[in-house]
Amino acid sequence: MRRILSDRVPLAPYLACLMVALCWDADGMAHDPDELEIEVPEVSVVGEKPVAASSQQFIPDKEIVLQPQGRPAQILRLIPGMLAVEHSGGAGKADQYFLRGFDADHGTDVAFFLDGMPINLRSHAHGQGYADLNFIIPETIEGLEVNKGAYLPEYGDFATAGAINFRTRQAVKEGIVQAAGGEFSTQRYMLMFSPTKERVRSLFAAEGYYTNGPYLNDNQYIRSNVLGKITTYVTGRDELSITGTFLYSKWDGSGEIPLRAVTDGSLNRFGAIDPYEGGNTLRTTGQLDYHYDTTSGGQFYMKAYGQYYRLDLFTNFTFFLTDPINGDGFAQFDRRAIYGGELGFKQRGDILGMPSIGTVGFQTRVDDVHAKLGTQLRKQLTGTTIDSDAFSASYAQFVKAEVQPLPWLRFNGGVRGEVFTFDVNNRCATCPEQSAGQTHSGIVLPKMNMILGPWAGTEFFINYGEGFHSNDARSAVRPGSAPLSRSINYEIGVRSRPWGPDRLELLATLWRMDIKSELVFVGDEGTTEIRGATRRQGVEVAARGQVWGPLYVNGSFAWTHAEFRNGDAIPLAPEYIAYGAAILKWPEGLTSQLQATYMGVRPLIEDRSIKAPSWITFDLSERYLIPMRLPHGRMEVFLYVQNLFNTEWEQAIFAFESRLRNEPAAINDIHFVPGNPRTFLGGLAWYF
């Protein structure tokens, strides 16, 4: 059957045949249809959804469950060319994300979603686009929808390098109780089950996590998560879903440490200069999704969501550079409410005999923020640098069209228009230099994609799209600023399954991205930096799928060249990222995975005179499903070994000036967060 635009297969002919068959008995005699009561069970048709770019893909849950579950962001390495690392010697805050030549910090240029609800936070106290994924319970995710570049009209703010949607399950066939433990007092407990699975499908999950980490200053990181979801239908042609989540966590951090102190032996690799770093955070979300399928091939859909968020963060990067007596500790506080939604209509049909899909949509979002920055000593506030109310709202309209004029030719594209309003109030009477005021800005973003094929299981892609990220409201309201930073994306690629639809898939992508200029608000300092035009370009290749019998592989390699248009390097931009995994499904219920992650050398400053070293780590995963059936379920044991060969490596790494207590002046040095040593984590799961 030729795949045309949609991942849905028309069921009407098959249901008609079923009705006719049921109206005849074994002797071939017809029954009166009025005398029959026929209950047709729900039919699920699974197909691969067509993609608009070679870099667009769906990563299924079977790969996610083989990842260690202490850090939800760790599953992002399954995305070709992407990495996430811990940022400050404590697992509680958002990770640092790398993708397509971006050190995206905590999320400025990568848009994250949970079932379409935005995760990135605007005008955050610690950084624009801050995206903390720790409220996600990995086992609740049925897959990752990955869209690199800016080629789809339905994605807007922060979708510069790409957009990633975590799609949650509606229900699970079996409930699961899981307990795990390992080194550094690490413990994890998880419960997930579906109380109802028929007309009303429900999902409940809860997680508790604790670890001290490898640091001499124990993390004492505790995380509690809850998710609840209900999915049902009202008329039989629709679907209604309500989801809620809750996160609370707190931790002590060890911060980024100076290389010079580790080199001279005065500081242990897992030590801390300021042992009073750390923080706590809370996030609760709720969303409603509804769609109605018309009898003429159309679909009306809507979404509404609301979130409450809180963060208290205590940090010290420069130690005693500014204040030789009390140190340079500072605190950041963020309190906010977020609410928004989406309305849209999608129509399938034929235009002049060409299969087509047209979509129109409207999205809106509001962030109502109170952000504060001040000096602190031992987590006690000693002064105020910023105290602002920042209100931002966006209103977006988009139109999307998908047309297939020939069996081997598809077009996919559209246009997105977005308008922002910003309103900032300076609440600090002693901070008159801080920004305040109102402004608005708009942007129009065209998207165009052409897909050729398939021929012998191979498709070719040509893509163009413009994207953007918004800047912090406190910088946006300053005179002469550019509130929205536009990116222009180009991509050509190929994806192929030369050995059949269920075998190994090969991907190759050549891409380029230009950004005219950026205005960045530095939350750690309360200042604004103007950055010039940049160009990023690179190549990604990947292979995933079944190689032979029980052997599966997932591997990728990404090369990126990123620089300012004047030739200077973009600090922290990754040049080489690679990932490889071999999965072996043994015949007796054992699944083994060996995976390797590589980060290449990258510049830390513009003139490339200081560079971060490369590193490679290996992880081993084993899961064994005990074949013996229990009276009420089945059991599984699992083991994770992270950093199998105990490699010394660095996670977040920077170059800047700092001063230790015994130093007479500032020293420009490398500062880093050490990567975890070899770590064992094992556990037991009961499926019921």
Concatenating the DSSP letter of every residue in 489-532 gives: EEEEEEEE-TT-TTS-EEEEEEEEEEE--EEEEETTTTEEEEE-
291 falls within a domain: yes
Tell me which residue has tokens 């409410």. Answer: 337
Confidence of residue 518 (pLDDT cuts 50, 70, 90): low
Residue 54 makes CB contacts below 8 A (sequence gap 6+) with 459, 461, 491, 492, 493, 494, 495, 507, 508, 509
496 falls within a domain: yes
d(CA 581, CA 634): 27
Share of the chain above pLDDT 70, in %: 91
Q: Considering only CA atoms, which of 290, 396, 419, 415 is closest in space to residue 340?
A: 396
Confidence of residue 636 (pLDDT cuts 50, 70, 90): very high
Three-class SS state of 277: strand
Task: Kindly report the CATH number assigned to the domain that includes residue 521.
Answer: 2.40.170.20
Instruction: Tell me if 436 sits within 8 A of 427, measured CB to CB.
Output: no
pLDDT at 628: 75
Q: Considering only CA atoms, which of 105, 87, 98, 256 is closest in space to residue 669?
A: 256
8 falls within a domain: no
- Give the mean model confidence (pLDDT) for residues 47-55: 83
Would the pLDDT of 442 be above 90?
yes
- Give the mean model confidence (pLDDT) for residues 174-196: 97
d(CA 532, CA 574): 19
H or E element, residue 17: helix 12-22
Would the pLDDT of 300 be above 80?
yes
* Local structure of residue 11 (DSSP, 8 states): -
User: Which amino acid, one-letter code, is at 512?
Assistant: R
Confidence of residue 502 (pLDDT cuts 50, 70, 90): confident
Would the pLDDT of 644 be above 60?
yes
435 vs 28: which has the higher pLDDT: 435
Structure tokens at 388: 């602002």
199 vs 18: which has the higher pLDDT: 199
Q: Torsion-angle region of residue 353: left (phi > 0), alpha (psi -120 to 50) or beta?
A: left
Instruction: Tell me if 645 sits within 8 A of 618, measured CB to CB.
Output: yes
pLDDT at 66: 87
- Give the mean model confidence (pLDDT) for residues 281-285: 98
Q: Which residues are registered as beta bridge partners of 232?
A: 240
594 vs 525: which has the higher pLDDT: 594
pLDDT at 15: 36
Residue 614 makes CB contacts below 8 A (sequence gap 6+) with 576, 598, 599, 600, 601
Q: Considering only CA atoms, which of 285, 286, 253 is closest in space to residue 270?
A: 253
pLDDT at 41: 45
Tell me which residue has tokens 């608009």. Answer: 52
Share of the chain above pLDDT 90, in %: 82
Residue 315 makes CB contacts below 8 A (sequence gap 6+) with 88, 253, 255, 277, 329, 330, 331, 332, 524
pLDDT at 33: 38
At 113-131, the pLDDT tens digits run 999 999 999 999 999 999 9
What's the total number of domains in the chain? 1
211 falls within a domain: yes
Confidence of residue 525 (pLDDT cuts 50, 70, 90): low
d(CA 232, CA 118): 23
Q: Considering only CA atoms, which of 168, 170, 190, 172 is closest in space to residue 181?
A: 190
pLDDT at 522: 58
Range of the domain at 128: 57-687
Q: Considering only CA atoms, which of 580, 680, 578 is closest in space to residue 621?
A: 680
At 363-405, the pLDDT tens digits run 999 999 999 999 999 999 999 999 999 999 999 999 999 999 9
Maximum Cα–Cα distance across the chain:
101
Would the pLDDT of 533 be above 50?
yes
292 falls within a domain: yes
Average pLDDT for the chain: 90
418 falls within a domain: yes
pLDDT at 406: 97
- Give the mean model confidence (pLDDT) for residues 277-298: 97
pLDDT at 520: 54
Q: Considering only CA atoms, which of 289, 365, 357 is closest in space to residue 116?
A: 289
Using CB atoms within 10 A of its CB, is residue 101 exposed (0-12), middle (13-18) or buried (19+)?
A: buried
Structure tokens at 650: 């660095």
Instruction: Tell me if 462 sits within 8 A of 489, measured CB to CB.
Output: no
149 falls within a domain: yes
**CA distance from start to end of the chain:** 38
Would the pLDDT of 294 be above 60?
yes
Instruction: Tell me if 542 sits within 8 A of 555, measured CB to CB.
Output: yes
10 falls within a domain: no
Compute φ and ψ for 61, nearest 5 degrees.
Answer: -65, -25
Rg (C-alpha) for the chain, rounded Å, is: 26
At 226-243, the pLDDT tens digits run 999 999 999 989 999 999
Would the pLDDT of 37 be above 60?
no
Structure tokens at 49: 């959804």
Confidence of residue 528 (pLDDT cuts 50, 70, 90): low
- To 5 degrees, how large is the angle CA 624–CA 630–CA 636? 20
Would the pLDDT of 564 be above 80?
yes
pLDDT at 358: 97
d(CA 473, CA 422): 6
pLDDT at 375: 96
Q: Considering only CA atoms, which of 57, 6, 201, 62 is closest in space to residue 623?
A: 62
- Please state, in angstroms and as integers, the Cα–Cα distance from residue 256 to each residue in 268, 397, 504, 647, following that order: 12, 42, 41, 19
- Give the mean model confidence (pLDDT) for residues 256-262: 96
Would the pLDDT of 146 be above 70?
yes
At 338-360, the pLDDT tens digits run 999 999 999 999 999 999 999 99
pLDDT at 70: 77
At 592-623, the pLDDT tens digits run 999 999 999 999 999 999 999 999 999 999 99
pLDDT at 554: 95
- HEC profile of 366-401: EEEEEEEEEEEECCEECCCCEEEEEEEEEEEEEEEE
Three-class SS state of 13: helix
Three-class SS state of 424: strand
Report the length, in residues, of the chain. Answer: 688
Would the pLDDT of 161 be above 80?
yes
Structure tokens at 254: 């060890």
Per DSSP, the chain holds a count of helices (H) and strands (E) of 4, 38
63: Cα within 13 Å, side-chain hemisphere: 22
At 9-27, the pLDDT tens digits run 333 433 343 333 333 343 4
